[in-house]
Every structure is written in C-alpha cells, then in structure tokens.
C-alpha cells in the first residue's frame, strides 16, 4: 500500500481542495492524518488508487507531493499492543516516519506504519512479514 504525503500552504480550504479533487475523480480516501507544521499543512493519505491521486494532485498549484510504501499490520485492540510492535521496530533500529490507525474490526486494529525508506525491509523483518 502507498502513502501519499502532501505538503500545502496552511490556509483555509487546503484540505477541502485535495478532498474535492480526489472525490471528483472517484478516488476514495481510506485513511488520513492531517496536521500543521509552521506555515505548512501536512496531509498523509491512503487511497484506493494512489496512481490516479498522484497524477491529478500534481496538477494542483502549490502542493509538494511524495509517495512511499507503507506496512499495514493487524494488532489486538487492547492496551500495550502498539508498544509491543514499536518496541520490536526500535530494537532493530527502525526509524518511523508515521504511524496511524487505518481501521478497526471488532477486536483487531489495522495500523499503518511508514518506516524510513532505508529501514523498510528491516521493519518487515522485525514484524515477521514476508518480503
């Protein structure tokens, strides 16, 4: 799965512009993290079609875009589970760029993890995931 990171001017309507564009294209935002950092708005999104999203977002003025692979893991929905996962990654020297919940089913929580690009395989290995 791919995470699209969008850096925009931190102004009223910046997220609306992105969301309307994607919605108009039939691209569904499946998960989002949005926050401000100084004068910038940062949106990290997962969509059902990152190729189309990147193609059309690149046409909006003033956006800086990047796309990267992420890892989605399932964990039990109970205290301490995220700590166990992130400790495994830490013990292997994996630096994390973003972590957020992308969904929940009953007692399972789906978590998106974006390790630093140079640590991607190390992260998969630490989590016992196949290459």
Distance of alpha carbon 52 from alpha carbon 107, whole angstroms: 33
Question: Can you give the pTM of this predicted structure?
Answer: 0.89
Q: What is the pLDDT of residues 55-70, one digit of tens each?
A: 999 999 999 999 999 9
Q: Are strands 108-115 and 96-105 parallel, antiparallel or unpaired?
A: antiparallel
Structural domains counted in the chain: 2
Same domain, 76 and 62: no
Rounding to the nearest 10 degrees, give the CA dihedral for residues 85, 86, 92, 98.
Answer: 120
Is residue 131 one of the residues assigned to a domain?
A: no
Question: The domain containing residue 18 runs over which residues?
Answer: 2-69
Q: Band of the pLDDT at 77, cuts 50, 70, 90?
A: very high
Q: Band of the pLDDT at 131, cuts 50, 70, 90?
A: low
SS3 84: helix
Same domain, 28 and 64: yes
């Amino acid at each position: 799965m791919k995470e699209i990171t969008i850096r925009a001017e931190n102004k009223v309507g910046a997220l609306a512009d992105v969301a309307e564009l994607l919605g108009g294209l039939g691209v569904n935002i499946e998960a989002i993290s949005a926050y401000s950092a100084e004068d910038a708005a940062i949106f990290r999104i997962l969509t059902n079609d990152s190729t189309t999203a990147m193609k059309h977002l690149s046409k909006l003025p003033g956006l800086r875009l990047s796309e990267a692979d992420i890892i989605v893991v399932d964990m039990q929905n109970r205290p301490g589970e995220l700590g166990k996962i992130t400790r495994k990654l830490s013990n292997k020297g994996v630096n994390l760029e973003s972590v957020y919940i992308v969904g929940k089913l009953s007692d399972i929580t789906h978590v998106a993890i974006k390790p630093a690009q140079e640590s991607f395989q190390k992260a998969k290995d630490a989590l016992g995931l196949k290459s």
